[in-house]
Amino acid sequence: MWLYLAALLGFYFLRRWYRERQTVDKLTEKYVFITGCDSGFGNQLARQLDARGMRVLAACFTQKGAELLERATSERLKTTILDVTSTESIAAATEWVKGCTDKKGLWGLVNNAGILYPIGPNEWMTKADFAKVLEVNLLGPIDVTLHLLPLVRKAQGRVVNVSSIAGRFAYCGGGYSPSKFGLEAFSDTLRRDLRPFGVSVSIIEPSGFNTKINEDASGSFGNVWSKLPAEIRELYGEKYFRNISKTFFGAKWEKKNLSLVTDCMEHALTACYPRSRYAVGWDAKLVYIPLSYLPASIVDYIVTYGSPKPDKALY
Catalytic residues, by residue number, are 176
Q: Which of 7, 65, 15, 8 is nearest to 36 (CA)?
A: 65
Contacts for 161-164 with beta carbons within 8 Å, 24 or more apart?
Answer: 161/111, 161/186, 161/187, 161/201, 161/202, 161/203, 161/204, 162/41, 162/110, 162/111, 162/112, 162/114, 162/204, 162/206, 162/261, 162/265, 163/187, 163/203, 163/204, 163/205, 164/205, 164/206, 164/207, 164/211
CB 311 within 8 Å of CB 237: yes
In 3D space, the residue among 110, 112, 41 whose CA is nearest the CA of residue 257 turns out to be 41
Q: Which whole-number Å values give the CA distances from 269 to 36, 188, 199, 297, in the listed order?
A: 17, 17, 11, 39
Cα radius of gyration (the chain):
21
